[in-house]
Structure 1
């Protein structure tokens, strides 16, 4: 399903749903960051997705990371919360979702890189190599917040 991100855009459609979600900044022992290239918008992103009934936000980040990248992770901390009402995702089925995401930090503990139906490329990147990748601004914010190391950010 195609997705378009709008951030503080007066032409954005009005949100009609709010769904808790998690993403993870997964960092390996070499300091590299795990990213996936999404099938819905072609952009590089952190692994993540919507929370399901019966799971915690940490469980969500662990599950989504494994589903999208093949890597099993352990949660180690929090980057921040991202709930800007001016940031919406419009899907081709008519859903327009307001951002509500908790970004966590994690370390890999197993698995091997693989793509999924949500990702067509998965790779580890040195943090400075991320700057030149095609990426929506909200994901870039999360990575910048992690790199700045200011502790939990609330946006």
Structure 2
């Protein structure tokens, strides 16, 4: 995952101390009800597309930007499905973050699913009952929640 310039600037001032970050991802469905996933280049796991928001960026727009950047798919964001506060994470270089991720339900409206940047090894559509084994539990939960049809935002702490 490429580190945004604003994070690099902050790190120049605060070093590797714990930094709270805000991210957005999307459970993107195609016309057949399949879920869009990307195979991450950093760990090989299949996951929902998403990433960090830019300062001042509207979260739904940020989710749409991240999906397009990573997968080549244009989306229409329908609603905020869930919000997850992760555990503190330490990168190999010593930098620490704790991420709050907003997960949106969305529909594919254009583009073509493909590897569109260096963050993914592969991109594909999967039936919700046939997800790759490496999809993390918290992403499975987000998918299940988005597919439930319940528009009440769900909050979960990892």
TM bin (shorter chain): 0.7 to 0.9
Q: What RMSD, in angstroms, separates the aligned Cα atoms of the two structures?
A: 1.8
Shift, 1:137, TM fit: 2.1
Shift, 1:97, TM fit: 1.6
Aligned length: 140
1:11 is aligned to none
- Deviation sequence 1:121-153 (CA, Å, 0-9, x none): 1000011001x4212222122122223344310
C-alpha separation in 2, matches of 1:88 and 1:143: 23
C-alpha separation in 1, matches of 2:128 and 2:63: 20
Q: Give the gaps of 5 or more residues in structure 1.
A: 2-14
2:120 is aligned to 119
Shift, 1:120, TM fit: 0.5
Which one is further off, 51-60 or 21-30? 51-60
Q: Give the gaps of 5 or more residues in structure 2.
A: 2-16
Where does structure 1 differ by over 6 angstroms across 4 or more consecutive aligned residues? none
2:104 is aligned to 104
Please give the TM-score of this superposition, normalised by the length of structure 1: 0.82
Please give the TM-score of this superposition, normalised by the length of structure 2: 0.81
1:71 is aligned to 73
C-alpha separation in 1, matches of 2:72 and 2:84: 25
1:1-155 alignment, distance < 5 Å: 16-84=18-86, 87-115=87-115, 116-130=117-131, 132-150=132-150, 151-155=152-156
